Amino acid sequence: MSRDLGKQGEQLALRKIKSLGYKILEQNFRCKIGEIDLIAMDKNTLVFIEVRSKSTDKFGLPQETVNCQKQKKIRDVARYYLVKNKLTTENCRFDVIGIVWNGKGKPEIEIIKNAF
């Protein structure tokens, strides 16, 4: 996947979750451990969001690429974010947004709440 496709996917995901009422707190939060694409509030829940894009679903869906190793890294970065911002008592969840472009004009977006 090209970096441009990934950035387009993140922008599309950002617009989608804003339209659903999420309040964006961070984009591309980075620390020495890794990165989380989006951090947002969904009502009273802090949501850590991984966005995955693919140009086709021929070899599987993009959300299927968030394997155990990637999940651990996201959890570790989320833990760092919570401690750094003194948010350790917040309700949290991890969502994955999969975007397939498929060249059909409008991309297909799937939001998986509580993905892991």
| Domain extents in the chain | 3-112
- The 10s digit of each residue's pLDDT in 23-72 is 999 999 999 999 999 999 999 999 999 999 998 888 899 999 999 999 99
Spatial contact of 107 and 12, defined as CB atoms under 8 Å apart: yes
Closest among 45, 39, 63 to 115, alpha carbons compared: 63
Closest among 4, 51, 62 to 24, alpha carbons compared: 51
- Considering the domain 3-112 in this protein, what is its CATH number? 3.40.1350.10
pTM of the model as a whole? 0.92
d(Cα 15, Cα 90) in Å, to the nearest integer?
Answer: 24
- The 10s digit of each residue's pLDDT in 12-37 is 999 999 999 999 999 999 999 999 99
